[in-house]
Copies of this chain bind each other. A is one copy, B any other.
Amino acid sequence: MSSVREVKVATEVPGPQSKAEAEKLGSFFDNRAFYFVADYDKSEGNYIVDVDGNQYLDVYSQIASIPVGYNNPTLTKAAQSREMISALVNRPALGNFPSSHWHDSLKNGLLKVAPEGCDKIFTAQSGSEANELAFKAAFMLYRRKQRGEGVEWSDHEVSSFANSFHGRGFGSLSATRSKAVHKLDIPSFNWPQAPFPALKYPLDKFAAENAAEEKRCLDKVEELITTWQFPVAGLIVEPIQSEGGDNHASPAFFQGLRDITQKHNVTMIVDEVQTGFGATGKFWGHQHWNLTSPPDIVTFSKKAQTAGYYFGNPRLVPDKAYRQFNTWIGDPARVLMSKAVVEEILARDLVSQTARVGVALYSELERLATKYPQLVRNLRGKGQGTYIAFDTTDPASLVKKMKSLGVNIGTCGTQTVRLRPMLIFEEAHIPFLISALDKALGSA
């Protein structure tokens, strides 16, 4: 059976049904960011259907969070399992009374795909929470090393990068440096912010300049760590800055970060909330770097369908019970879903598929970049699976036009269109996507 489905958009977007539903919801739920109201019962694979019957090829995937397609049969089976019903009905306080199924859920799910060197896990419910828990682990480790040396307990910080997005809690938001709207009016810790390399494209044309730019940023990171008014306990970095505009850096840059963090005893946290679970053509984005030693902590969410952090160093477990703790410590129902996601990804070798399809997709986009040099600029993500993006003049209208042509696609940063297809996106889906983009760009 072909996974390619006919796409049909018969109304304006959002259509009248979507608008009516949105208005109903608006009486008690903020509806201002709605694109449309979806009919998930009719959605399937790479295709999302709205309540007006419009169908879209979905390369936005619920803000990069649908891993293996709508109504995926493996996931449906997991959702119907006896273990799932129990996890939903008998929600435990996992730190006090874990279920007899908990070992299997983790061991044969999230632990099966643990990043090398990170064989332990703390489970959570969102990317923000995962990052905040990682910060707390880093702080507690820092003080564990320093205890007795007279360092005041609150005097340590997490460094992050300009344009980074690490979530919206008070701690994760303090590290977030993307759009102003994310931070406006919200009190924030005064934590250091390092510059993230601004690479020039195409990469092969600007090799020397880009190397110099990365060195500048690394020097600045080291300077911040050594001169900041308080000790820097942790450094958090995304493999690709996603909300900030799909900003990439080279493996050498990340190896440089690893060297600096080790030299200065700083916990290196890799935020794989958006890059993890295969979309870059490797299971974890940081696997592209060939680090000489693993990151201290790797956080995840989105396509994992649950959240948490992996780590290796047992000293990242605080010295006493209940210091890293909360009532639910994640959700076993969502961990069961992640187990099914892992099964599906591994059984169908979807990471390799994504790497392969990404190559074909990238070269089609290169063709469009040549055809529309003003409208498709700084194409990036080569060799990063389907994690591809480009800059354009008016991303919001382009994306709106794409919806009317039957493609659900998203933006990031201020001038960027980002592709976030699911891992089940195939070569067969490329022609429609490219032809819609061609039409949309041609009429811009």
Contacts and interface: CB of A to CB of B under 8 A. Distances in A.
B328 A331 contact: no
A99 B71 CA distance: 13
Interface in A53-86: 62-63, 65-66, 70-72, 75-76, 78-80, 82, 84-86
Contact of A169 (B78, B132, B334): B132
A382 interface: no
How many chain A residues sit at the interface, stated as a range, is: 35 or more
A365 to B, nearest CB: 24
Interface in A387-431: none
A38 interface: yes
Contacts of A63: 93, 96, 327
A243 B78 CA distance: 36
A235 to B, nearest CB: 15
A292 to B, nearest CB: 24
A436 interface: no
A285 interface: no
A371 interface: no
A320 B180 CA distance: 12
With a 10 A CB-CB cut-off, give which of A32, A90, A106 has the most chain B CB atoms: A90
B181 A99 contact: no
Given A37-B99, A99-B37, A136 B186 contact: yes
Interface in A292-335: 301-302, 305, 317, 320-328, 331, 333-334
A30 B320 CA distance: 10
A278 interface: no
Interface stretch (A2-10, A123-131, A197-205, A245-253): A123-131
Nearest to A51: B100
Given A28-B120, A322-B33, A326-B128, A89 B72 contact: yes
Contact of A25 (B84, B98, B333): B98
Contacts of A142: 185
A262 to B, nearest CB: 22
Contacts of A326: 126, 128, 167-168
Interface stretch (A153-161, A263-271, A356-364): A153-161
A432 interface: no
Contacts of A48: 97
A170 B184 contact: no
With a 10 A CB-CB cut-off, give which of A80, A89, A323 has the most chain B CB atoms: A89
A254 interface: no
Contacts of A34: 95-98
A41 B86 contact: yes
A64 B48 CA distance: 39
Given A132-B169, A170-B171, A88 B79 contact: yes
A24 interface: yes
Contacts of A206: none
A326 B63 CA distance: 10
Interface string A111-151: 10000000111110111110010011001101100000000
A41 B86 CA distance: 7
Nearest to A334: B331
* Nearest 4 CB-CB pairings of A with B: A170-B171, A32-B321, A40-B90, A79-B88
Given A29-B120, A79-B88, A154-B188, 4 more contacts: A28-B119, A29-B102, A171-B171, A181-B320
